[in-house]
Amino acid sequence: MHLLGRDQSKYNPRFCQPCEKFDHPGGAEVVISMLFADVRGSTKLAEQMSALEFSRLINRFYTVATHVLVQTDALVDRLIGDQAIGLYIPGFAGPEHPRRAIEAAQDLLKLMGHRDPTGPWLPVGVGVHTGLAFVGVVGGEDSPADFTALGDNVNITARLASEAGPGEILISDAAYSAAGLNVVDLQHQQLELKGKSEPIGVRVLRVARD
């Protein structure tokens, strides 16, 4: 495909670059699923090791998160600080994008070692949410163009990730319902999220040690 001018997408090498449609800024409102993975206690971890050691640890997290997101057909939206963000867009991930996002969250925590008897090599919490977002290219002209998702539901996912404890996946009621799940033993909570006037219902899925 490279010979035809179709290089790999930087957001997921399983797709081609023209799929991103970077020619013109703009996009559309689309119902998508979002996965935000957040390292817990990263500030304390950084205090306990050198900057080089910490960068290697975070790079290992990035590598694992990227692998999981790519294999589940997400677009890797951001690897920044102590966070990894994946977008499950129907045109790429298919109609079962909510379920794929939840399964990816479980796989990620397992690979982080949350099922190991000795505990994780890096504690991570995950937020998964499904909702309407603006998806497309922002910037351009006098600023760099970027493909991303924007809107209130993106912010909700980020807040869920920040509330998730180590080894926890906070699945919004919207994502849980859209995925068609019926797991009776999941704890249900109403969370008061920063900046939100109404509480958000979530299901708590924990990846426990064997």
Distance between CA atoms of residues 157 and 195, nearest Å: 13
Please report the sign of the dihedral spanned by the C-alpha atoms of residue 77, residue 92, residue 112, residue 200: positive
Q: Mean pLDDT, to the nearest integer, of 143-167?
A: 91
Each residue's pLDDT tens digit, 160-193: 999 999 999 999 999 999 999 888 789 999 999 9
pLDDT of 96 > 70? The answer is: yes
Residue 182's pLDDT is 85
Both structure tokens of 131: 């909702």
Residue 6's pLDDT is 60
DSSP letter assigned to residue 25: S
The residue among 197, 143, 154 whose CA lies nearest residue 25 is 143
Domains of the chain: 28-206 (3.30.70.1230)
74 Cβ partners below 8 Å, 6+ apart?
12, 35, 86, 87, 88, 92, 93, 100, 101, 104
Distance between CA atoms of residues 62 and 71, nearest Å: 14
- H or E stretch at 70: helix 51-71
Both structure tokens of 37: 């993975």
Each residue's pLDDT tens digit, 16-50: 555 555 455 678 999 999 999 999 999 999 999 99
- Whether the model pTM is above 0.75: yes
